[in-house]
Amino acid sequence: MSVADVPAKAIEGRSPGRIAWMRLKRDKVALTGGVVVIFLILVAVFAPQIVSLLGHPPNEFHEDLIDPDLGTPIGSFGGVSSDFLLGVEPTNGRDVFSRILYGARISLIVAFLAAFVSVVIGSLLGALAGFLGGWVDGVISRLMDLLLAFPQLLFTIALVSVVPNSLMGLEGSSVRMAVLILVIGFFGWPYIGRIVRGQTMSLREREYVEAARSLGAGRGYILIKELLPNLVAPILVYSTLIIPTNILTEAALSFLGAGVKPPTASWGKMLSDAIPIYQDDPMYMVVPGITIFITVLAFNLFGDGLRDALDPKGS
C-alpha cells in the first residue's frame, strides 16, 4: 500500500489527553463542579465591576441600616434587600455581597498561588527523589517527613504575628497574603512531593525507559521526555485537590486572626466576626459558611472527576 492511494486526510490518533477530556465531558457531576469553579474564578476576577453594578464598595459603612440598640441589621435575614443582596454586616453595615466577592479574590489568589508554590517545589523535588534515588531520595524523603510532622498552624500564626507591616516593597494586607501563600505553599509541597516521588519510582522501572536508554538517551532526556508527560496527570489532579484544602487553610487562618488585615474582606474573618453575634444575626454566619462550603465542594468534585477521567484504568 503506497501513500498515494489513501485519502489525503491523515489519520489522527486520539491522544490520552483528548480521551480524558471526552470522559470528563460525560461526567456530569465533575462538569458541574468545573462550571462552578469557573464561575467563582470569573466572579473573583470581575469583583469590582460586579460590585459597582449590584452592590456597594466593600468598605463603605451603612450605619443607618443597623439597629442602634442591638447592633444587628434592620430587616429580616440580616437586612437582605434588593439593594443589599446578601444583607449587611452587623455594627458597621458593610455590604455582605461585595465583601463575599472581594473575599473570593483573597481566597482564590492565596489558594491558587500557594498550590502553585506546592506543585513547583513538590514536583521538582519529588521527581528528583524518585528518579535519582539513593542519598538524594533519602534527604528529600526525610525532609518531607519532617515538614509533615511540623505544627503548621501554630507556626503560621506565630510567624504572621511577627511579620512587619511592610516587607520588600509590599504593605499591609499584601505582606500578609505573601506570607500566607509562601507558608501554605511551603507546607503543602510534601503531599505532592510524595505522590510524584512514588509515581516517578514506578515509571522509572517501565520498559520504555529502558528502551530509551538502549537508544542512548541520557538522564535529562528520560526525565523530561519520557517521565514528565506521564507525571502531568497526577500533578494536575493533585493541584485541583490541593486548592480547596488551601482555601480552607486560608479561611482557618483568617478565622484565627492570622489572615489578611482588616478592613480587607476575607471569608474566614467574616465567620469569626459572626461568632459573637450569631444568635441575633445568624445570616451573617451562614453566608460565608455556605460560600466556603460550595467553593470547596466544587473544587473537590471537579478534582475527583479529573482523576477519574485521567485514570488509564477507568472505563
Partner 1 sequence: MNETGAQTGAPRAAEASGASAAEEPLLKVTGLVKHFPINKGLLRRQSGAVKAVDGIDFDVRRGETLGIVGESGCGKSTMGRLITRLLEPSSGKVEFEGKDITHLGVAGMRPLRRDVQMIFQDPYGSLNPRHTVGTIVGAPFKLQKVTPEGGVKAEVQRLLSLVGLNPEHYNRYPHEFSGGQRQRIGIARALALKPKLVVADEPVSALDVSIQAQVVNLLDDLQEELGLTYVIIAHDLSVIRHVSDRIAVMYLGKIVELADRKSLYEAPMHPYTTALMSAVPVPDPRRRGAKSGRILLKGDVPSPISPPSGCRFHTRCWKATELCTTQEPPLVALKTGHQVACHHPENAPDQAPGDKALPGAAEAVETPTL
Binding positions for partner 1, rule: CB under 8 A: 1, 3, 6, 10-16, 206-208, 210-218, 221, 226, 229-230, 312
Nearer to partner 1, 160 or 310 (CB): 310
Report whether 191 contacts 239 (CB < 8 A): no
Nearer to partner 1, 11 or 149 (CB): 11
Nearer to partner 1, 16 or 71 (CB): 16
* CA–CA separation, 132 and 150 (whole Å): 26
Nearer to partner 1, 68 or 218 (CB): 218
Question: Least Å distance between CB 115 and partner 1?
Answer: 23
Nearer to partner 1, 69 or 207 (CB): 207
Q: Any bridge partners for residue 88, and if so which?
A: 95
Instruction: For residue 39, give the amino acid letter.
Output: F
Radius of gyration for the alpha carbons in the chain, expressed in angstroms and rounded: 24
* CA–CA separation, 265 and 103 (whole Å): 5
Question: Least Å distance between CB 255 and partner 1?
Answer: 43
Nearer to partner 1, 11 or 154 (CB): 11
3-class secondary-structure state, position 60: coil
Any idea which residue has 500533578 for its cell? 235
Instruction: For residue 210, give the amino acid letter.
Output: E
Nearer to partner 1, 221 or 278 (CB): 221
3-class secondary-structure state, position 171: strand
* CA–CA separation, 130 and 147 (whole Å): 18
* CA–CA separation, 277 and 72 (whole Å): 8
Question: Least Å distance between CB 315 and partner 1?
Answer: 14
Q: Which three cell numbers stand for residue 133?
A: 534515588
Question: Least Å distance between CB 12 and partner 1?
Answer: 5
Please choose, from the candidates 256, 244, 247, 238, the residue with its C-alpha nearest in 3D space to the C-alpha of residue 153: 256
Question: Least Å distance between CB 311 and partner 1?
Answer: 12
Report whether 104 contacts 95 (CB < 8 A): no
Question: Least Å distance between CB 42 and partner 1?
Answer: 32
Report whether 107 contacts 181 (CB < 8 A): no
Q: Indicate the burial class of 50 (C-beta count within 10 angstroms; 0-12, 13-18, 19 or more).
A: middle
Question: Least Å distance between CB 131 and partner 1?
Answer: 15
Report whether 274 contacts 197 (CB < 8 A): no
Nearer to partner 1, 171 or 210 (CB): 210
Question: Least Å distance between CB 91 and partner 1?
Answer: 57
